[in-house]
Structure 1
Amino acid sequence: MDMLNIKNVQFAYDKSRQVLNNINFSIKENNVAGFLGLNGAGKSTLIQLIIGLLKLSEGTIEIASLNTKSHHKEIKKMIGYVPQDLAIIENLTAYQNVKFFGSIYGLKGKELREHVDRALEFVQLSDRAKDKPSKFSGGLKRRLNIACGIVHNPKLIIMDEPTVGVDPQSRNYILESIQELKQQGKTVIYVSHYMEEIEAICNQVVIINNGEVLYSGDMEELKRQNGNELLNVIFHEPLEDEEKRQLLSEFKERAIFRSDTEVEIKVPTEAEDSFNQLISLKTNFNHRIKRIQLSDVTLESAFLELTGNNLASDIVQTG
């Protein structure tokens, strides 16, 4: 069953600003899907449409087969949103923060208290329940932010850059908690500029570029279709001009010189291609080569191949 189904969605803030253009994709339940795209690609607008902060004008969005236009109240309880900008209230304790957000979703009395306790336990902040966020590190604030977003036990959880500005320990915890949410049967949309995080926890990828979906599907299939393995070749001594011309003649634009002694060669993902490239290098430059290293296809290389853009250069550091 699809947890999220988006059909023919278009959105414009005004006649001159078409932000989303005929968006179509679906995400199955009990899945972790990564949203990728440069700043301004349309990711934030799409998320605001999904959670109901923006009014949908064209197209259809369904959550668990319910139309967002006609089932707003039911869907509100099904979605948990963890925003990039911290939504916590500094002058309330951790417990009071989570309780406040639980009450927004209609939880009351014993049920509310049980949900708050469960959410704080999940993010490992039970022992800090009486402390105010002003005493927390950036990583602990991010954990509290997650607790506020999941206190009502939603089926679909949207996390927008949840690891920005956190320490490595908190980052690892957050990534592990997402895997645990999946094991609990939740569906998670994970928005991040950090390719290695998407690659570590997601099995589906949605790539949005200039308001359009360039790819939606299995991550490994994306890498197979668009990625390149990399041969990193290091030479004992600087290459002569004639040797550089020979490499460029054979590998053309797939050869990138990192220095006079190092060249990086993009190799198609078929194993036979990698083998043939190695044979060619060994035949022509064997006595000059110090080391050859073959790197696997990465999500980053596939994204770069598909969009022509390096997402890492677009990261906005906050916090």
Structure 2
Amino acid sequence: MDALPIHEQNNCEYKSKIAGKAHMCGHDAHCAMVIVAAQQFAANKDKLNVNIRFIFQPSEEVLPGGAPAMIADGAIDGVDEIYGIHVLPKINEGTMQISTPVALAGVDLFEITFYGRGGHASTPMKANDPIIMACQFVNQVQTIVSRNANSFDPLVISVTAIEAGSAFNVIPDQAKLKGAIRYLSSSGEDIAKKRLHEIANGIATTYQGKVEINYFHGYPETRNDSNSSARAINSAKKALGDNNVIESKYPWMASEDFSYFAKKVPACYAFLGVKNEAKGFTSMVHEPNFDLSNEAMLNGVKYYVSLISSFE
């Protein structure tokens, strides 16, 4: 169970006690739901028709994630199917969403540094401005989405940080960019990676500079198995009602290392609605005011109980 570098702004008895660190993505809620479900199953284990393994996986927020290490340690050896849920403030409390065939996007990260020649701001002709190269990259990289990617295979490229210089009158000698690529297929990932390198190298050549590219493969896309998803959908309907289960073909473009589990065994990763405007629970995950109700978590427990009951 990992926290985030966020200073929590909620005013509640379970507010984070550590400044600048808080559970603002719901991982504490995920653990609580699984623990309560485990208590229910343990109290009725003589009635169970299936063996259950509960997995508490840390380090989802930081690459390479906790899932690969747990898989290497045998966490899912002998497991036939795997299920998980993530709280989602985009949908109302009392509902669940199950997306097929892809639940979550894959993600890669990049760090690109353009090198030029520094100089005085009054004589740019005597310098080689790396900020110009960086700005060209920010603009041109979006053509990968609009001109190279398959329009039926969504791709998102976001430049999220630019670092260059510190003075008003000095052209720096380097400019660094950081960003993320989110994709739904390996072909989309391949196109983005190939073109990103081509664009960065092309800009460096055009402006007679140099470029250093660091590209990091993150989490693959999370794919839901059709049979596991059907079981999950039926279980959610029994737990929450037919009209409260959203069957979607659209993924959430966030990413999860649950995807590694899903590559090993049939899986379904569902989203639990926690939005409740009447109670003031409307903030998105990773926001300093994110919170959810006990009732929302009980819905997750009901789903797990219904899911296990389906194995008869």
Flag whether TM exceeds 0.5 (same fold): no
Hey, which of these two has a bigger chunk of helix by percent?
A: 1
Say which structure, 1 or 2, has more relative contact order (CA 8 Å, 6+ apart). Answer: 2
Hey, which of these two has a bigger chunk of strand by percent?
A: 1
